Structure formats: structure tokens, C-alpha cells
Amino acid sequence: MSTVLGQLWQSFEGTKPAQTENSIWLRVLVQGLVVVGIVATDVAAGTQISFWAVPLSIVGATWSWYRRRSRNIAVKFLLAIGMLLALGAFFSNLLTQVHDTRLVLAELLIWVQILHSFDMPRRQDLGYSMVIGLILLGVAGTISQTLVFAPLLLIFLALALPVLVLDYSSRLGIFVKSKRKKKLPLATQTSLLSLRSFSIFLLAILGLGLAIFALMPRLPGYQLQTFPVSAPVDLGNSNFNSSNPGIVNPGYVRPGNSDSGAGGSYQNLATGPGKMDEGFYYGFGDRINQNLRGELKPKVVLRVRSQAPGFWRVLSFENYTGQGWEISRPEEVLKVNRPPWSYQFILGTPPIGGESKEVIQSYTVVSELPNIIPALAYPQRLYFPTREVALDPNGSLRSPLGLLEGLTYTVISRVPLRDRTQLQLSSQEYPEKIKQYYLKVPPKIVDQVRERTEELLATSPKPITSSYEKALFLAQALKQNYTIPENPLGLPFLAENEDLVEAFLFKNKGGYPDHFSSALTIMLRSIGIPARLVVGFGSGKFNPFTGLYVVKNTDAYAMSEVYFPEYGWFAFDPIPGHELFPPSVEESQTFSVWRQFWQWVAGWLPSPLSSWLAEVWNLVVGLLLRGFIWLWRLLSNGWLGLFTGLILAVFVGFLGWLGWQQWRNWRYYRWLASLPPMESLYQKMLKVLGKKGYIKHPAQTPLEYARSMRQHQPSVAAEVIEEISQAYVSWRYGAIKPNLKQLQRRLRELGKRDYVKSGQ
């Protein structure tokens, strides 16, 4: 045993020490990559890790530089203990962040890098630091919700280019100092990192990256069923304080205190004139009053990452009060609890008929909201940090507390597809519960409203029989026949007993945007079609660089939802300037960046040209998508599909190689055509000889190359090479005109006959 241990120790003692990295610039730039990665994670996540991590990492890198030739045995033991402590802290934090582990992993990597920075004497160790910096940048990219991350990405790229050059040079031993402390000349070093070359490479990489980013399909994400959930404070034990989980909107003000932005009892403003709060949308409450005047000051309230755009639904109302709406069944609000080991709520919303699609959405609250939970229609599962949530009879979600800034939650919805053909054939026999709550119209206006509704339907060129087509036609009719006042305060208040819909249809001939939706809802009810008012946020502005929908408070508005037996509720938007339907799962963001770029270009083109180009683009995109779908179905068809796909890939690869060869030949002949005749003939000769393995070295003169060919070629072939080379030198340096026809004939003989021996 002692003999074996002795041999192992001798082997260990005989091991050569690892080669140290002596390039100070490589170490400094690698440390720069690490610092950028740490700062990017901090900026994206809104944390303050960099305040202690960056200085510690720099101290460690400085220590490593001065101790790079030492074994540092004591330090290694201390670092091993530090690694174990970091691992323990990682597992401890992991248990508290089960549903979003990105920051926990990033913090572990930062600790590993700090500890690693105290002992990285070798070039390979610098490679680990490069990779950690890149991983941290990637984590920051997944967390970032704004373009603040973009400048850090550019800085990282600007540092990475010289790091790659210096690292490659170090691997070749170019900049490693010898024992005599001699290096390559300064000109040789700077040529590898010249400002001109660096700028060209940087611009080329940026241009290529942006082009790939614009053309790359945005396929649905969330392939893993672990979704982000977080809160700025601990909400794990938050419950509803009463049996009736109502809604508190801080935007409502008390009567007589219209200049105050303080929260008040919104029940006091169910009817009567009032002023709208400038920060909070008035429609988020148990009751809403549409006799308010004012406008919102824009501010961002949500950032949404979703597999599809949509109407981020908040609430719906079934009871019309004459000047607003209210939720009439607070006793039917269902409280839902989650298990203590998971953030997942199973909501158990009723199933819907027809085709539907699962859509995953993650919401981050940017500005305070009432205790409502925006989500696409028909939420099935919710990932939320409180102990319980509430689900009302209309499928709307509520939180025990108001949504705080920084809160993140995820919803999985089963969104129905809007199939116009199926909805046209939908039955007009409604369940009793639907008729009980969604067909109510105040008796004093029902006859007038029904008469006006039938007048509008009678203007259709052909009779309309289906409920779907009636809703569609009436929404369009309101857009065309009624207007929105230009002055937000220009519409007079309603009198005490005056009805909103009656004033909208017959007195004012229009109203504010939400008034259109109230009018459409009551008009549909008057002809026996169940409808309700729904409020929420529009999709917002899609940011193609972050992949997020940026939603403002001004994106909140109301629409009409219409019930179709077996298929559920579908929204119609009668507001002028809006589409008839809100965006939904039928609309894809696959080529969103290119689409936005095209919309910008099309704005500068004449309409006929832009329309023709749009048709061509839609045709091309349609063919590409159909081809992709066909290929996916083929590859998904078991082993047969897999082998067929492999054969197809080999065939496509062969075609690509063939095309590449043809393109190279085309470039070569185009280049020859641009040369003088004698230069072209000489280059053709070099090409013939190069194919046989006799490539001319750049340092050889034409005559030296010709003389060297005498040692490898038969005398006849060597004479042809000598003759063409002499003619080329005489033409180039002596301005002697060659006999091109004779030389071309000799070159053809050299290529056709087996003069030239094959290279070994």
C-alpha cells in the first residue's frame, strides 16, 4: 500500500505546473465580461447584488494576478468551504422560489464566480469566467422586461470580440512571455486588435444579429410547466377578511371631493355626476358609474408575456342600473385555496364546447391595481402568491389584496376559437339561468331600444337570422352611426333619472367609448340575445425586443360579451376606431418584428404598391407556414417519419452543397472576367495545377513556382508552365504583349492531357 501511495506521490510531484496566463489585457477584459453579466442581472431583476458582487470579484481577480504562479493551497481549502456554503444557501433559497428559480441560479453562479476569481491562474480558468458571464447575461435576458438590458448587451459584445481574439492568441502562444521576457513586435499585436477591424466586425455582427432577430419566427414558449410567480412582499398567508370578497378600486373618490385622488366608497357613486380619477380606470369595481367625466393620464400598469395577444379580461357585469352596471350576485363568489406546497390554483371553470386553445400568460404588475386579476377568458389554472383567490360567477378572478407593484403571476386559459360558421348555426334556446341574468332591460326603455335596434337591423341588404350576425351587424352599425365627442368633458352629465342608453341612442347620438358597449349590450338584450358588459385591458403595445405586451391604464375599456349555447361567451367591440373583435389566439406573433418593420415601410409607399406587396408577402408567408406544418407532421409520424425526414435532410444537404459549388464557380469566373486577359490566363493555370495538389505559395514568384514544377512534372508539362509564366512576367513587368491565342491553346492542352501528375 505504501509503495502505491509513494508512486502516486512521485507522479504528482513530477506533474508539470499548469501554464499561467500572463496577458493582463485578457484578464482585464474577461473580468469586464463578468462585471457586465452581474450588472445586467441586477438591472433586469431590480436587485442590488452588484454592490457587493462586483467589488469582491475584482478583488479576487487582482489577487489571482499577483498570486498566479503560486499553488495557493490554503486558499483552495477556504474556497472549497465557501463553495459548500454557497451550495447550502442555494438549496435554502430554492425552497422559497420553487416556481421561478432563475434568480436563485443566477445568485449561485455569481457566488461561484466570486470564489473562482480568487484562484484562476490558468488560461482555461479564464474560460470558465467567460462562460459564467455569458450565462448571467442570458439569465438577465430572460428576466428583463424593458430595453434597459440592450446597452449592456452591446457592451458585452464589444468586450467579447477582443476577448475571443486575445484568448485565441493565447492558445497559440503568441502573447505568452518567454523566459527572456520577449514578445512579438507591437505592430503584430495591434494588427490583431486594430480599431478598424474591430469596428467592422462589431457592425457586421450587429447587422447580422438584427437581421436574424427580425426574420426568426416567434414560436410559442413555455415548454416547461413551471411558471414565474413572485411578490415584492410575503403574501403567503393573505386571505379574504370577510365572507364577501368585494373589489376596492382606489380610483373612486367621494362625492364633493372630486379634486382628491384618495380612495373612497365607490358605492356612493353608483349613479350621479362625478369626476373620473386620472390614474385608475373607473370600471374596476363591484359597481361602475358611467356618468363620470374626465380622462386618464397614461402610465404603464402591466407587462405581459403571452403565447397569443388578447383582451386581458378583468370583470363582467350583468345588472344594468340605468347609469352604470353592477355585479348582482356577490353571494355566489367562490373562494379557491391552493395547497401549501404549490402556488397553483385549480379554478375549475366550466368547460366550453367547440375548438379551443391553451394559452399561457405571465403578468408583471408595474403600477398598483385593485384586487382584481387580469387574465384571458376561461382561466383554468392560476399561479399566484396568496393563500386563496376568489372566482365570481362570470369567470373573473379576485385577490385578497390589491395587486402591488412588482407582483408576478401566471394564468393558463382555455381560450375558445371564434369559428364564425359554427357560431352562426348556434342554437337560440338559452338556459334559464342565462335568461334570468343576461336579458334584463329597464321597462321604461325596452320598447324604444328594441324599435331602434330593429330599425338598424332592417338596413341590412339581406335578412339577418342568426344571433351572431345580428351582434356583428349592430356593432358595426354603432361604429358608423354614432360618434365620440372630441372634448372629454364636452358631453353633458345625465340628469338624475335619465337613462344612459336612451340618451346615447336618441339624444346625444353618441357618447364616450364605454357608452357604445353599454348601448350594444342593452340593444342585444332587447331582441332576446343574452349579453353582458365586460371590462379589461387591450393587448397593449407589443415590444418585439422583449417579447412583452406593455399595457397602460389607457388601454382599459369595456366591450359586449354575447352568449352562444355550447360555445360560451364571445366579445364584440362597437367602439369607433377599434376592431370588431379583440385580438385572440387566431392572431400569431410568429413574424412580429418583420410585420412591424413592414408596416413602417408601407406607410411611405403608395397604397396600390403596398397592397400588392402585402399580397405577395402573405402568399410567401402562407407557403412557408404550410411547408413548416407539413414538415412537422412528417417528422412526428413515428419511425417512418423520422427516417423520411433524415432522407429529406440528406437530399436538402446535397442540394445545398451543389448550390454552394455552383455559386463558388460563378464567383470564380466572374472574378476571372474582371481581370486583364493575361492575368486571367495565368490564374486559370494556377487553378488547374492547384486541383492536382500543386498550390503556389504566396511568397513564391511566378518564375520560382515554374522552376519548382520541373521537379514534379514531366518535361512537356514543365515547358508549358515555364512558357506561360515567362509570358505573364514579361507582360506584367515588361509591358510585352503576349500571344494570347497560342498561350490559351497551350493551357487547354495542359488541362486536357495527363501532363500533370496527381499530388501525393
Q: pLDDT tens across 659-678, in order?
A: 888 888 888 888 888 888 88
* Residue 333 near residue 286, CB atoms below 8 Å: no
Tens of pLDDT, residue by residue over 506-531, are 988 888 999 999 999 999 999 999 99
Residues 440 and 494 in one domain: yes
Residue 594 is predicted with a pLDDT of 61
The pLDDT of 122-134, averaged and rounded, is 79
Residues 705 and 617 in one domain: no
Strands 388-391 and 397-398: antiparallel
In a domain, 233, yes or no: no
Residues 86 and 135 in one domain: yes
In a domain, 385, yes or no: no
Q: What is the C-alpha to C-alpha distance for residues 214 and 593, in angstroms, rounded to an integer? A: 5
Residue 113 is predicted with a pLDDT of 86
CATH number of domain containing 588: 3.10.620.30
Residue 557 is predicted with a pLDDT of 94
Given a cut of 60, is residue 736 above it in pLDDT? yes
Given a cut of 60, is residue 81 above it in pLDDT? yes
* Residue 717 near residue 755, CB atoms below 8 Å: yes
Q: Which of 567, 452, 546 is nearest to 504 (CA)?
A: 452
pLDDT band per the 50, 70, 90 thresholds, residue 488: low
Residues 444 and 560 in one domain: yes
Residue 349 is predicted with a pLDDT of 67
* Residue 685 near residue 750, CB atoms below 8 Å: yes
Cα 227 from chain centroid? 16
- Return the H-helix or E-strand segment holding 4: helix 2-14
Residue 1 is predicted with a pLDDT of 56
Grid coordinates standing for 427? 342554437
Look up cell 373562494; give the residue: 335
From 153, 178, 203, give the residue that closes a domain: 178
The pLDDT of 227-256, averaged and rounded, is 68
Cβ partners under 8 Å of residue 467, min gap 6: 426, 428, 529, 562, 564
Residue 33, burial from CB neighbour count under 10 angstroms (0-12, 13-18, 19+): buried
**Residue 312 bridge partners (DSSP):** 537
Tens of pLDDT, residue by residue over 337-375, are 888 877 889 887 666 777 888 889 999 999 989 989 999
Residues 527 and 435 in one domain: yes
From 178, 206, 224, give the residue that closes a domain: 178
Identify each DSSP E strand in 430-555 by its residue range.
531-537, 541-543, 548-552
Look up cell 321597462; give the residue: 443
Share of the chain above pLDDT 90, in %: 19
The pLDDT of 5-10, averaged and rounded, is 59
pLDDT band per the 50, 70, 90 thresholds, residue 623: confident
Residue 601 is predicted with a pLDDT of 63
**∠ CA 554-316-490 to the nearest 5 degrees?**
45
Residue 199 is predicted with a pLDDT of 84
Tens of pLDDT, residue by residue over 630-660, are 776 676 666 777 777 778 888 888 888 888 8
Cβ partners under 8 Å of residue 320, min gap 6: 440, 441, 442, 501, 518, 521, 522, 533
* Residue 60 near residue 114, CB atoms below 8 Å: yes
Bigger pLDDT: 18 vs 203: 203
* Residue 543 near residue 218, CB atoms below 8 Å: no
In a domain, 699, yes or no: yes
Residues 155 and 96 in one domain: yes
Residue 223 is predicted with a pLDDT of 44
Residue 307 is predicted with a pLDDT of 83
Q: In 10 A of CB 110, how many CB atoms? A: 26
Q: What is the C-alpha to C-alpha distance for residues 459 and 372, in angstroms, rounded to an integer? A: 41
In a domain, 293, yes or no: no
In a domain, 240, yes or no: no
* Residue 238 near residue 407, CB atoms below 8 Å: no
From 160, 178, 196, give the residue that closes a domain: 178
Residues 735 and 683 in one domain: yes
C-alpha dist (Å) from residue 209 to 144, 146, 252, 418: 19, 19, 48, 37
Grid coordinates standing for 503? 340618451
Question: 518 is in which domain, residue-wise?
Answer: 431-544+556-594
Grid coordinates standing for 92? 435554502
Residue 226 is predicted with a pLDDT of 58
Q: What is the C-alpha to C-alpha distance for residues 174 and 128, in angstroms, rounded to an integer? A: 21
Cα 157 from chain centroid? 20
Given a cut of 50, is residue 263 above it in pLDDT? no
Cβ partners under 8 Å of residue 434, min gap 6: 530, 563
Q: Which of 29-38, 271-280, 460-469 has the lowest mean pLDDT?
A: 271-280
Residues 118 and 32 in one domain: yes
pLDDT band per the 50, 70, 90 thresholds, residue 315: very high
Residue 325 is predicted with a pLDDT of 92
Grid coordinates standing for 571? 366579445
Residue 295 is predicted with a pLDDT of 84
Tens of pLDDT, residue by residue over 432-484, are 989 999 999 999 999 999 999 999 999 988 888 899 999 999 999 999 999 98
CA max distance for the chain: 116
Residues 443 and 587 in one domain: yes
Bigger pLDDT: 302 vs 64: 302
End-to-end CA distance of the chain: 55
Residue 661 is predicted with a pLDDT of 86
Residue 451 is predicted with a pLDDT of 93
Given a cut of 90, is residue 234 above it in pLDDT? no
Given a cut of 50, is residue 154 above it in pLDDT? yes
Domain count, the chain: 4
Given a cut of 80, is residue 377 above it in pLDDT? yes
Q: What is the C-alpha to C-alpha distance for residues 112 and 83, in angstroms, rounded to an integer? A: 7
pLDDT band per the 50, 70, 90 thresholds, residue 19: low
Sheet arrangement for strand 556-564 = 312-317, 531-537, 556-564, 568-572
Given a cut of 80, is residue 86 above it in pLDDT? yes
Residues 628 and 742 in one domain: no
The pLDDT of 183-206, averaged and rounded, is 65
In a domain, 587, yes or no: yes
Q: What is the C-alpha to C-alpha distance for residues 349 and 356, in angstroms, rounded to an integer? A: 14
Q: What is the C-alpha to C-alpha distance for residues 136 and 130, in angstroms, rounded to an integer? A: 10
In a domain, 704, yes or no: yes
Residues 31 and 102 in one domain: yes
Residue 11 is predicted with a pLDDT of 60
In a domain, 100, yes or no: yes
Mean pLDDT over each residue of the chain, to the nearest integer: 80
The pLDDT of 577-588, averaged and rounded, is 76
Residues 488 and 442 in one domain: yes
